[in-house]
Amino acid sequence: MSEIIDEEMLDDDDLDTQANKFLLFNIGNEVYGIGIEYVTEIIELQRITEVPDMPAYVKGVINLRGKVIPVMDVRLRFGMKERVHDDRTCIINVNIDGTSVGFIVDTVAEVHDILEQDIEPPPQFKEDNGHHRYISGLGKVGDSVKILLDVNKILFEGELEKIKEKV
């Protein structure tokens, strides 16, 4: 179950159409999305080597074809309860500004087009406890809403900046 998106095979037209494409995945009962332009591949959950002195949401590192990649459990990054992994649990390998990180998610759903006019800004609350800081927008798809995430903030906000230095 290794699905690779080869960036070299994409032409300029393909890159333009990526702007409206989101990889949708589930965490619990909610559907989240990240821009397809950040997704390198989707792989089965594999052996993770624990690294000491990491935040709880960083499960460790994997060796992916000779490259060491840190892996985070998105559930834990969001402050949710940990869940036992099953055969549908997978890792979404993302790359932003040359940094590769694996996101452990419950299940991957599909790639979906969400047009810019169908994306609302995230809600703003007077007393925001920070849980909404990873949301870039809310995508309307039919009668449902998909929570669109800011990959940059998930990767680089807070303690994760220090992790890349350690691995």
Is pLDDT at 126 greater than 80 in this prediction? no
pLDDT score at 155: 84
pLDDT tens per residue across span 58-106: 999 999 999 999 999 999 998 899 999 999 999 999 998 888 999 999 9
What CATH number is attached to the domain comprising 105? 2.40.50.180
Question: Max CA-CA distance within the chain?
Answer: 47
Is pLDDT at 160 greater than 80 in this prediction? no
pLDDT score at 19: 78
The whole-angstrom separation of Cα 115 and Cα 65 is 35
pLDDT score at 18: 73
**Domain range enclosing 16:** 3-166
The whole-angstrom separation of Cα 93 and Cα 145 is 24
CB 155, CB 96: distance < 8 Å: yes
Q: How many domains are there within the chain?
A: 1
The overall average pLDDT reported for the chain is 84
167 against 75, higher pLDDT:
75
In 10 A of CB 34, how many CB atoms? 22
